[in-house]
Chain A
Amino acid sequence: MSRITTKDLSIGYGKHLIVDGLELTIPDSKITCIIGPNGCGKSTILKTIARLLKPSKGAVLLDGKTIHHQSTKSIAQKIAILAQSPHTPEEMTVKDLVSYGRSPYQKGFGQLTNKDWEMIHWALEETNLLEFADRFVHSLSGGQRQRVWIAMALAQDTDILLLDEPTTYLDLAHQLDVLQVLEKLNKKQNKTIVMVLHDLNHASRFSDYLISIRDGKIVKAGEPAEVMTNQVLRDVFDIDAQIVEDPYTKKPACLTYHLL
């Protein structure tokens, strides 16, 4: 039984549907990656799962109940979402920003409780940011900044974490750094992680479950070995890919490709 499923999910405006009748199941406590070409609807699907977008038909079910009928605050205690390029307010310290992750639990004037501080401290620790706690977010590098956002999502203390292209705009080392932080969270905390990734090899390497999308429809979903095949990539991306086994991770990897 999965906590997140979609039922006959359609998203779009009027007759122009981006996603039509999607049936999706997100495995619990696993890392799931959604891949697909630009404009295939993968971000749209992720946002709809996070109740940021309203479906035109069907539903996203969280613990068996339609997500759009639940209070946004109670969902925020179960699902954390990191948008693609969130806006960093000026004059904001790392600690301040991470503390926002506690908002779903706050009442009244929003003073932080000891429990809140523990969670903030822990989130910074997990993301190796303790030494930057009092620095301004603006003064950090792109990779560090992304870790701050992840720390905020961690402070939200949810079982499910959704991320929309968390590695975009980062250099190679920082991409890996961010993904390893997420991997650690999945292994240590059993968090369910769903993300949209552009890089196929990263998707294959870090995910337990891959969903490939084209034109709003699932082409193939399953373990990386089932999805990272010449045939699937042909169907999804119109490419002829050379799939090899990654000598480090033993996962399938795309060595090279050319257009069809």
Chain B
Amino acid sequence: MTDTDDLSPFKDRVFKRSLYFFFFLLFLLLILTVISLGSGHLSLSPGDIWQTVTGSGTEAHQLLLFQFRLPRIILAVLVGIGMATAGALFQGVTQNGLADPGIIGIHTGSGFFVVLFLYLVSLSQDQPPWWANIGLPFVAFVGGITAAILIYVLAWKEGVTPIRLVLVGIGINAGFSAAILLVQLRMSESDFNRAIIWLSGSIWNASWATVLRLLPWILLFVPLALYKARILSVMQLGEEMAVGLGTAVEKERIKLLIIGVALSAASVSVAGGVAFVGLVAPHLARRLVGGKFQRMIPVSAVIGAILIVLSDSIARTVLAPSEIPVGLIVSVIGAPYFIYLLITIKE
């Protein structure tokens, strides 16, 4: 056996590199956040931001920065973290690089339940009950689980091949989209428009209230995902090896799926149907730090946050004062990547 001290160069190499990437990306996110704080329909110079942050800015700047831009950026970060982590979990559990909850119908499943819920609430009472907003992530969660179960049942044929899962998922996605449309058609015009904007993925109406609605889910389920990361890693070796290494595969798979659906559903309930983050972020992360989920999930989460903050910055600047749904911008980046993966996937 080797002396422990002699081991430090041996064990640190990979870890250091991942840590380096992680902090580099974190730094990138920070820069983007500052740029994003300054960009938008109303102009804020770095000087203005500094003055406002230090408390000597104008009231209007304070309002703009602290009540409108800051919650929006924080929401973008949280949604990015949630969706990227969910994507990593789904890809890991299904051992399928294409299993993005946004593509295989988990998001639309959540979306359908949310839209249905909002419609029913609007029918039954003049004023939505106080718990309607807090309840949304839970409703979305039920929808996501329903979609996940449907996909598994329909895709199961002595196991689930990656392509089969994606094809069934895309079918489920289409089905829920149609169901959403059916509900939408019964809505009033203004509700209909709002549902459209929400479904195409949007965080423009972010506020501290929305941030607080999502935050507990992220704070609870992201650490859980990290806690389960080593199990996810081992599961990549195939079921037999995973059991051999002491993993209760069946039980863990269900737990991991629940965590994944929770993260995806909570993110969807505030930001709508943003697809492709759960696909692109874990892939890039794997390229950077390898396939070990303990390292891959944190890096993937930061990449997800970067993706949404960046897309959102673009979404609100190119056509200002009008806004493009952030989901569309993400899709412009993500869809070609998805097609590239589809072409290069190995059976």
Q: Which residues of A contact B (CB under 8 A)?
A: 47, 50-52, 72-77, 79-83, 86-93, 95-96, 99-101, 103-104, 106, 108-112, 114, 117-118, 120-122, 125, 133-134, 156
Choose among A52, A89, A92, A93 the residue that contacts B244 (Cβ–Cβ < 8 A).
A52
Interfacial chain B residues near A121, Cβ < 8 Å: 2, 7, 10-11
Chain B interface SS verdict (over half)? helix
Give the number of residue pairs across the A-B interface with Cβ within 8 Å.
110
Given A91-B286, A92-B291, CB of A81 within 8 Å of CB of B240: yes
A47, A108, A117 — most chain B CB neighbours (10 Å): A117
Q: Which residues of B contact A81 (CB under 8 A)?
A: 240-241, 244
Tell me which of B11, B245, B247 has the highest count of chain A C-beta atoms within 10 A of its own C-beta. Answer: B245
The complex places the Cα of A103 from the Cα of B294 at a distance, in Å, of 12
With A76-B246, A103-B230 already in contact, 17 other A-B pairs whose C-beta atoms are closer than 8 Å: A50-B243, A52-B244, A72-B248, A73-B248, A75-B246, A81-B244, A86-B237, A96-B290, A100-B245, A110-B229, A117-B7, A117-B10, A118-B2, A118-B4, A121-B2, A122-B1, A134-B13
Q: Is the CB of A92 within 8 A of B292?
A: yes
Is B157 on the interface with A (CB-CB < 8 A)? Answer: no
Q: Does B216 contact A (CB under 8 A)?
A: no
Q: Min CB distance, B7 to chain A, in Å?
A: 5
Residues of A close to B240: CB separation below 8 A: 47, 52, 81, 83, 86
Q: At the interface, is chain A mostly helix, strand, loop or mixed?
A: mixed
In the complex, the answer to whether B245 meets A104 with C-beta atoms within 8 Å is yes
Given A87-B238, A100-B234, answer yes or no on A122-B245 (Cβ-Cβ < 8 Å).
no
Is B236 in the interface zone, CB < 8 Å from A?
yes
Within the assembled complex, what's the spacing in Å between the Cα atoms of A134 and B13? 8
Residues on B with beta carbons closer than 8 Å to the beta carbon of A118: 1-2, 4, 7
- Distance in angstroms between the alpha carbons of A194 and B292 in the assembled complex: 30
List, in ascending order, chain A residues with CB within 8 A of B292's CB.
92, 96, 99
Q: Separation in Å of the A141 CB from the closest CB of chain B?
A: 19
Whether A89 pairs with B7 at a CB distance below 8 angstroms is no
Complex: A74 Cα to B2 Cα, angstroms: 26
Task: State A93–B227 Cα separation when bound (angstroms).
Answer: 22
- Is A83 in contact with B245, judged by CB distance below 8 angstroms? no
Interface residues of B in 251-302 (CB under 8 A from A): 286-287, 290-292, 294
Which residues of A have CB within 8 Å of B10? Answer: 117, 121, 133
B342 within 8 A of A: no
Question: Do B290 and A101 touch across chains, with their CB atoms under 8 A apart?
Answer: no
Question: Does B226 reach chain A (CB closer than 8 Å)?
Answer: yes
Q: How far is the CA of A52 from the CA of B231 in the complex (A)?
A: 17
A160 to B: closest C-beta gap in Å: 11
Query: Which single residue of chain B is at the shortest CB-CB distance from A76?
Result: B246
Whether A109 and B229, one on each chain, are in contact in the complex, defined by CB atoms closer than 8 angstroms, is: yes
- Also in contact, A93 and B290, with CB within 8 A (given A52-B244, A104-B245, A134-B13): yes
Q: Residues of A contacting B237 with CB < 8 Å? A: 86-89, 100
Do the beta carbons of A77 and B246 come within 8 Å of each other?
yes
Residue numbers in B under 8 Å from A86 (CB-CB): 237-238, 240-241
Contact (Cβ within 8 A) A76 B294: no
Q: Which residues of the partner chain B approach A92 to less than 8 Å between Cβ atoms? A: 236, 290-292
